[in-house]
Structures are given as structure tokens and as C-alpha cells.
């Protein structure tokens, strides 16, 4: 889990400790039992991530420094915060509906995984940027908007 979070966020120690927080919260394992393996797997994952993506060691995303120029920026921030909360609510509702659907209709695990694969494949066909890590694509989108 620590290696996965590290590859996702590009932060070795952050990924390790975040993974330990989840495990500790669910009382699966205590910190002292897993801290060394989590840090080692995070560092190994980060090295592999840097070698594969060739992004180098440094910040994952490169955003310009933002300065507040108008008071309307706060209104937009509040609006986008509300919009993000609504999208998150829809996201959670989709997962709850999917869980209800799969418990209501008993399906073998291979049918469920096949359906999930088809849905993910459809997303990849219609939204090509979803096929990759979002790290480099986010910078490409930002540069193409200028």
C-alpha cells in the first residue's frame, strides 16, 4: 500500500506514513510493526517510478505561483469548492449504487471483474488522457491552454 501511494503521489515518506495511518486506523497493524517495511517499499517504489516515468526527482506538478488580483477570486474559490463537494457526493453515490447492484444481483467474481474492465476500457477509449498517470498529462494540458 505504501508503494502504491508513493507511486501515485510521488512522495516516499508521505506515501509510507499515509499507508500506515490507514492500517493503524483499522487496527490491522501497529506503527512499530510496519514502519520499516513501509519506508523501504516506498523508497523502492519511488525509484522505480522515477526510472519508468523519467520525470526526475522533484515536484510532480509544476504550477505557476498564484497571486490574488481581484476579490472575485474568493467567490470563484467558494463556487468551485461547492462544485467539488457535489461531484464528490455523486462519486460516492455511484460507488454505493454499484455495491447495492452487485449485492442485489448475485454474480460470479469473473463477471464483475469483466464488467469493471469493460467500463474502464470504455473510459480509456472515450477519454484518452485517463490511460496514463495524470502527472505529466496535467502539465501538458496546462501548457496547451496558454
Average pLDDT of span 91-101: 88
Is 73 inside a domain boundary?
no
The model's pTM is 0.44
Assess whether 48 and 90 both reside in one domain: no
What integer best gives the mean pLDDT of the chain? 80
Is 19 inside a domain boundary?
yes
Comparing CA positions, the residue from 50, 51, 47, 41 lying closest to residue 3 is 41
Is 68 inside a domain boundary?
no
Is 48 inside a domain boundary?
yes
* CA distances in angstroms from 86 to 22, 72, 83, 103, listed in the order given: 25, 21, 5, 26
Average pLDDT of span 77-89: 95
**Total domain count for the chain?**
2
Is 46 inside a domain boundary?
yes
| Integer Cα distance of 9 and 14 in angstroms | 8
pLDDT confidence of 87, banded at 50, 70, 90?
very high
* Highest mean pLDDT (candidates 22-26, 32-36, 77-81, 133-137): 77-81
Q: What grid cell was written down for 14? A: 508521505
Is 70 inside a domain boundary?
no
User: In this predicted model, what pLDDT tens digit does every residue of 54-63 receive, in sequence order?
Assistant: 766 666 666 6
Is 37 inside a domain boundary?
yes
Assess whether 95 and 139 both reside in one domain: yes
- Of residues 28 and 75, more confidently modeled: 75
Is 104 inside a domain boundary?
yes
Q: Which domain holds residue 113?
A: 84-144
Amino acid at each position: 500500500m505504501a508503494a502504491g501511494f508513493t507511486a501515485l503521489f510521488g512522495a516516499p515518506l508521505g506515501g509510507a506514513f499515509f499507508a500506515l495511518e490507514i492500517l493503524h486506523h483499522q487496527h490491522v497493524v501497529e506503527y512499530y510493526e510496519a514502519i520499516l517495511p513501509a519506508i523501504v517499499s516506498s523508497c523502492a517504489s519511488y525509484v522505480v517510478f522515477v526510472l519508468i516515468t523519467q520525470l526526475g526527482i522533484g515536484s510532480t506538478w509544476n504550477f505557476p505561483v498564484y497571486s490574488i488580483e481581484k476579490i472575485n477570486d474568493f467567490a470563484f474559490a467558494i463556487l468551485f469548492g461547492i462544485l467539488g463537494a457535489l461531484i464528490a457526493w455523486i462519486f460516492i453515490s455511484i460507488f454505493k449504487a454499484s455495491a447495492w447492484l452487485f449485492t442485489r444481483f448475485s454474480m460470479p467474481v469473473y463477471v464483475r471483474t469483466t464488467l469493471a474492465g469493460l467500463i474502464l476500457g470504455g473510459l480509456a477509449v472515450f477519454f484518452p488522457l485517463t490511460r496514463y498517470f495524470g502527472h505529466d498529462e496535467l502539465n501538458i494540458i496546462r501548457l496547451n491552454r496558454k
